[in-house]
Amino acid sequence: MNRLKKYFQAAIAALLFSACTAQAYESEDGSFTAHGYIENATYQRFHGVGLSKIRNTGQVEVSKDFGAVGLFSSFSFNGTLRGTYDAVYDVNDDEFGDNAGAPISFTSGGVPAGVLGPGAPAVPAGITTPWGSSIVTAGNPGLPGGGGFGFNVANNPNEGLALLGSRLHGDDGGVLLGVPVRPCDVDPRGCIDGYLDFDSDELKSPEFNDRADFIREAYFSGTIPLKSSELDISFGRQQVVWGRTDLFRVLDVINPVDFSRNNIYDELEDIRIPMGILTIENRWGAIGAFDDLNLQFLWKWEKFRPNKLGQGGTPNSILDAGSFFRAMNNCWENGCTVSNFAGGGAQTDFPAHSIGIRQAVLPDWKLKETDVGLKLEGIYKSVGFSLNALYYTSQLPSLRGGVPAVNPFLGVGVPFPDGQTGGEEIPRDYLIAFDIEFPRILLLGGSADFYVDSLKTAFRTEVVYTNGEEFADTTNPRLFSRSPVVRYVFGADRPTFIPFLNKNRAFLFSAQLFGQHILNHHLEDAPLGKIGMPDWKDNWIGTLLVKGFYKNDQLSPQVIMAYDVRAQAAAIAPSIDWLINDNWRLQFGANIKLGTGARSFDDIVLLMFSHHSQEQELLAQVLDWVDMSH
């Protein structure tokens, strides 16, 4: 019962209201078509958040068929323009806009006498101090640091802040950070140049940026007939989709994804970030023993773009990674308060350039660092298959330690026996000072689909092996290590009649199981707890979609459920879709999350006060967030 209660305590529920209207145009000769729609999506989030999205979208899709042109037997242009205005930043600005956040304070968990240093008094539990005025800070007599702790509150004031992760879980006496939550033009703290540094306008209307994202797609495609095959060439900004499964991007990794639009809940078509890509595909059709065979070469020539994870302080910051990054970047740039750090129970003010995230290193355009891929796809004896290879830059960030940083335990300007001088910025093993990097990855994989008549079920699968991915690893001095990974998805679709609900129309049951296996995973016991990779060696997520249809499909209720085995967390998203007519659509839904919140890793209570062990503890907490970003 307590467990159930804990689950529901962590539940976050949201209601969705979405309305859409569409229009179309076709030229007299039929060679040019234009479709457009406008959509309003409004979301209400509970637990005191209020409106979390009032998104208004206008989209126009055009296509022009030029017919035969030169070598091409057919040649066409496709384009998609999209503009969005999300009014939530104006309407609910106390939560997500210019006036978001508030002064924050931290409460001590308590530290016994002498733990913070010889003769240091005990720190009672329950002492509350504001941001920047911690128990361990500049000038506190009898405490370590000798002036190395503390930061300038004038530059890093106690306003516009939120406790990191406070929407997901309580502090539970653990480590806490503060995160600035206002748009970057209002409060630039923690905004990471070129990565997560969006101002108010970019948050409200994300398509109108320096990458011209309002041009979602613009590409030419043509077919050159060959003697025994066809050559299809496609060039321009586009989405290229690999794989056969829903929701999980095992093979579908060519385009990065904008999770800030609506987390994973919008269709991938709407949240993939189209990129400049060239594809050349030879289509043999039926050949030899194959009913269909095709070989595709792919070159993503546009400058690298990572996934958009959502900035700290915005409604959709997937796994709150963007908030963690912002909090940590603020720590690096301006210093920050960390709760329950010193002695495991005293608030501590870290100076700038001691811990945090220094920068995001976004790769410059170099030919050798562009993405290339090959796909062989076909049908053999009724089994659809593909073999895929992709060499690409990870769209997810990796945190690499080893960044030169100061050690606040050493007094500024004080020489020490190991040759260091206090206040000196040098690389330090195991220090939680990171750069965000995007490693190169080799992906090899494949997919298949087939139908089993005796089960009346269609199956599909994707399996990939990657080499080059990086994972948090507390045993490595730079706090990350590489490991090959195997990911797989098995899915099944089965239409099934439920006569008492609908005697004339089947319900679609679609289930998937996603798994991840880290081949070089390691986790070991150390005197102070587990060390190694916080990520699981093996984990699985199951999903189930049940969708019904009424009134000639104009009314369609559905529920999507997902369950993370290791996290013991679930999401349930019931919704109902009402197609009023060809031009109007109304959707109403909810999204309920159940679970115990973020997982803790190595949540040890330290009785010794040495700088290394403290860093280990904070590191352990930090790695939870890093882990989640994967």
Partner 1 sequence: MKINTLLLISLMILVFTNGAKADYTEADVDNSFYPYKNSTPEFTGYEPGLTINQKNVDQFKDILDPAMYKLIKDGATKMDTMATDSFDLHPNYVKATKNAINNPPTLKEDGTIANYIAGRPFPSEPDASDSSAGTKLIWNYQYGYNWGDNAAIYPFYWGYRNYKTGKLERTLKFNFHFLNWAHRVNQDPVPEITPNPSKLFRSIYVQVLEPFDLANTQLLIHRYQNDLKRDDAWLYLGFQRRVRRLATGQVTDSFLGSELMIEDFEGYNGRVSDYNWKYLETKNIMLPFYRHNELPNLATNIKDKDGYQFVDFGGQGGCFPKIKWQLRKSYIIEGTAKDSGHPLSKRLMYLDAQTFTIPRQVMYDRKGDIWKTFIIGQANPLYHLPKNKNSGVSIDDSFMALDVQAGHCTTGQFKGQVDPKLNPTSKFTVQNLRKSGK
**Between residues 416 and 584, which has the closer beta carbon with respect to partner 1?**
584
Distances (CA, A) of 229 to 66, 384, 525: 21, 19, 59
CA distance linking residue 150 with residue 73, whole number of Å: 70
CA distance linking residue 175 with residue 343, whole number of Å: 11
Using rule CB under 8 A, residue 456 touches partner 1 = yes
Site for partner 1 in 60-119 (CB under 8 A): 78
Q: Which residue among 286, 374, 501, 607 contacts partner 1 (CB under 8 A)?
A: 286
**Between residues 293 and 346, which has the closer beta carbon with respect to partner 1?**
293
Using rule CB under 8 A, residue 451 touches partner 1 = yes
Using rule CB under 8 A, residue 425 touches partner 1 = no
Per-residue mark of binding to partner 1, 512-551 (x: CB under 8 A): -------------------------------------x--
In sequence order, what DSSP letters do the residues of 150-197 get, joined into one string? Answer: ---TTTS-SSSEEETTTTT---TTS--BEEE-S-TTT--TTPBTTTB-
Which residues are CB-contacts of 228 (< 8 A; sequence separation ≥ 6)?
284, 287
Closest approach of partner 1 to the CB of residue 586, in Å: 12
Using rule CB under 8 A, residue 450 touches partner 1 = yes
CA distance linking residue 219 with residue 215, whole number of Å: 10
Q: Which residue among 5, 126, 367, 382 contacts partner 1 (CB under 8 A)?
A: 382
Q: Is-contact 338 348, C-beta < 8 A?
A: yes
β-bridge mates for residue 630, sequence order: none
Q: What are the helix (H) ranges across 164-312?
A: 200-204, 268-271
Q: Which residue among 180, 243, 343, 423 contacts partner 1 (CB under 8 A)?
A: 243
CA distance linking residue 454 with residue 431, whole number of Å: 58
Using rule CB under 8 A, residue 12 touches partner 1 = no
Find the part of the chain contacting partner 1 (CB under 8 A) among 117-125, 187-195, 497-505, 536-544.
497-505
Distances (CA, A) of 370 to 210, 273, 274, 466: 20, 16, 15, 17
The values of phi and psi at residue 349, to 5°, are -100, 110
Q: Is-contact 244 460, C-beta < 8 A?
A: yes
**Between residues 73 and 99, which has the closer beta carbon with respect to partner 1?**
73
Closest approach of partner 1 to the CB of residue 86, in Å: 21
Q: Which residue among 48, 119, 503, 527 contacts partner 1 (CB under 8 A)?
A: 503
The values of phi and psi at residue 149, to 5°, are -90, 170
Closest approach of partner 1 to the CB of residue 30, in Å: 6
Using rule CB under 8 A, residue 268 touches partner 1 = yes
β-bridge mates for residue 495, sequence order: 508
Find the part of the chain contacting partner 1 (CB under 8 A) among 126-134, 238-246, 326-334, 402-410.
238-246
CA distance linking residue 100 with residue 482, whole number of Å: 38
**Between residues 496 and 610, which has the closer beta carbon with respect to partner 1?**
496
- Token pair of 580, please? 């009023």
Closest approach of partner 1 to the CB of residue 458, in Å: 4
**Between residues 377 and 615, which has the closer beta carbon with respect to partner 1?**
377
Closest approach of partner 1 to the CB of residue 457, in Å: 6
Q: Is-contact 205 221, C-beta < 8 A?
A: no
Q: Is-contact 192 329, C-beta < 8 A?
A: yes
- Binding residues for partner 1, rule CB under 8 A, total 65
Find the part of the chain contacting partner 1 (CB under 8 A) among 356-364, 443-451, 481-489, 605-613.
443-451
Using rule CB under 8 A, residue 457 touches partner 1 = yes
Burial of 608 (0-12, 13-18, 19+ CB in 10 A): exposed
Q: Is-contact 303 365, C-beta < 8 A?
A: yes
Q: Which residue among 10, 11, 22, 605 contacts partner 1 (CB under 8 A)?
A: 22
- Token pair of 608, please? 């010794």
Using rule CB under 8 A, residue 453 touches partner 1 = yes
Q: Is-contact 490 459, C-beta < 8 A?
A: yes
Nearest to 99, CA basis, from 137, 28, 35, 50 = 50
- 50 — alpha (psi -120 to 50), left (phi > 0) or beta? left
Using rule CB under 8 A, residue 289 touches partner 1 = yes
Using rule CB under 8 A, residue 506 touches partner 1 = yes
Chain centroid offset of residue 347 CA: 30
Find the part of the chain contacting partner 1 (CB under 8 A) among 159-167, 177-185, 534-542, 580-588.
580-588
- Cβ atoms within 10 Å, residue 212: 11
**Beta-sheet strands, E only, within 202-288:** 215-225, 230-238, 275-287
Closest approach of partner 1 to the CB of residue 28, in Å: 6
Using rule CB under 8 A, residue 465 touches partner 1 = no
Find the part of the chain contacting partner 1 (CB under 8 A) among 333-341, 357-365, 479-487, 496-504.
496-504
Find the part of the chain contacting partner 1 (CB under 8 A) among 243-251, 336-344, 514-522, 612-620.
243-251
In sequence order, what DSSP letters do the residues of 397-409 get, joined into one string? Answer: -EEE----B--TT
Find the part of the chain contacting partner 1 (CB under 8 A) among 111-119, 420-428, 526-534, 552-560.
552-560
Find the part of the chain contacting partner 1 (CB under 8 A) among 126-134, 159-167, 232-240, 462-470.
232-240
Q: Give me the residues that bind partner 1 (CB under 8 A), please.
A: 22, 24, 28-30, 33, 35, 37, 78, 221, 230, 232, 234, 238-239, 241, 243-244, 246, 267-269, 281, 283, 285-292, 294, 377, 379, 381-382, 384, 449-451, 453, 456-458, 460, 493-497, 503-506, 508, 549, 552-554, 579, 581-583, 585
